Amino acid sequence: METKKSYHEKKEELLKDLSARIDDLKKKADQSAADLKVKYYEQIEALRPKQEAARKKLKELKESGEDKWEGLKDGIEHAFTDLKKTFDNAMGKFKHK
């Protein structure tokens, strides 16, 4: 059975990885031609609220008691799935340009 601590650490690591990858997208956008830059920034800005939602869910998890954290997992999984899906969508648009 997974513990609250190991689950939190795993999700924290995933969020750090995705955040670094979002920063890389921003660097690519910064180096793009002006006409593409706006489109790239739109994609990146769509990621920010999803990233913040995942951070908030992790904060809730951290602050939850050992007996309550299991009930938060569905919301956490949804937030991370939403962030990853939006990130993958943005990556697809970067690759097609």
List all residues 6 or more positions away from 23 whose beta carbon is below 8 Å from its beta carbon: none
Please state the rounded mean pLDDT for residues 29-45. Answer: 86
pLDDT tens string 46-67 = 999 999 999 999 999 999 988 8
Top-confidence residue, 9 or 28: 9
Q: Is the pLDDT of residue 97 over 60?
A: no
Query: Where do the domains of the chain lie?
Result: 4-95
pTM to 2 decimals?
A: 0.84
* Number of neighbours of residue 49 by Cβ within 10 angstroms: 12
Alpha helices for 1-97 (secondary structure H): 4-30, 34-63, 73-95
